[in-house]
């Protein structure tokens, strides 16, 4: 399992490149922070697999653990080493801030070390609905 995780992270820069390439087209379609229809947490759990190259619900990994993330202040897991940018962001994670984060973390928090985004509004809503259940 460890090897699998490692290789999944190894592929992350490629994901980053694909994201950059698609972002021009994405910008033209005027990304909006508007929520899609109510999120489906069951589908969100499946989509969350994309986050699991770097995150898990219960353990810090490349990224911080996610249990209880909805409603907590950004960068508040004490034993995770956050970027100064996220530490100083003053954000609280709710549906609106998480949506903006997943549209483009670097746009919301310039200098963050998370480089991953979800272009599809419904997918973002589904993932956020799943995270809301991980209290
Ligand atoms: C390529 C690795 C990677 C992937 C994939 C990734 N993240 Fe992250 N994430 C990070 C890193 C690194 C941080 C810490 C950012 C910082 O300190 O600036 C982070 C931070 C976060 C935070 C802030 C948590 C806190 O405690 O303040 C949230 C929320 C988050 N990620 C959600 C997600 C979601 C949801 C997904 C999947 C759609 C995802 N991430 C995919 C690497 C990743």
SS (H, E, C) the chain: CHHHHHHHHHCHHHHHHHHHHHHHHHHHCCCCCCCCCCCCHHHHHHHHHHHHHCCCCCCCCCCCCCCCCCCCECCCCCCCCCCHHHHCCCCECCHHHHHHHHHCHHHHCCCCCCCCCCCCHHHHHHHHHHHHHCC
> 10: which 2 tokens?
């190894």
Q: Sorting pLDDT into bands at 50, 70 and 90, what band is 122? A: very high
Question: Are residues 40 and 123 in contact, defined by beta-carbon separation less than 8 angstroms?
Answer: no
Q: Is the pLDDT of residue 74 over 80?
A: yes
Q: How far apart are CA 49 and CA 60, in angstroms?
A: 15
Kindly report the protein residue whose alpha carbon is nearest to atom 35 of ligand 1. Answer: 51
Topology of 5-12+40-133 in CATH? Cytochrome Bc1 Complex; Chain D, domain 2 (1.10.760)
Query: Ligand 1 centre from 76 Cα, in Å?
Result: 13
What is the average per-residue pLDDT within 40-56? 98
Query: Ligand 1 centre from 105 Cα, in Å?
Result: 8
- With a 6 Å cutoff on the Cβ, whether 50 touches ligand 1 is yes
Q: Where are the domains of the chain?
A: 5-12+40-133
Q: Hey, which of 21-25, 35-39, 113-117 has the most confident mean pLDDT?
A: 113-117
Q: What is the pTM of this model?
A: 0.81
pLDDT of 37 = 77
Among 38, 43, 62, 41, residue whose Cα is nearest residue 51: 62
Q: Is the pLDDT of residue 91 over 90?
A: yes
Task: Find residue 73's DSSP bridge partners.
Answer: 92
Query: Ligand 1 centre from 28 Cα, in Å?
Result: 25
């Amino acid at each position: 399992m460890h090897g699998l995780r490692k290789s999944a992270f190894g592929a992350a820069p490629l994901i980053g490149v694909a994201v950059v390439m698609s972002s021009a087209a994405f910008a033209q379609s005027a990304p909006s922070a508007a929520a899609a229809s109510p999120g489906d947490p069951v589908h969100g759990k499946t989509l969350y697999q994309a986050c699991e190259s770097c995150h898990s619900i219960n353990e810090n990994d490349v990224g911080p653990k996610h249990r209880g993330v909805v409603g907590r202040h950004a960068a508040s897991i004490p034993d995770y080493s956050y970027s100064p940018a996220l530490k100083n962001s003053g954000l609280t994670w709710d549906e609106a801030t998480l949506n903006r984060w997943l549209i483009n973390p670097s746009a919301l928090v310039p200098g963050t070390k998370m480089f991953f985004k979800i272009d599809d509004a419904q997918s973002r809503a589904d993932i956020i609905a799943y995270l809301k259940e991980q209290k």
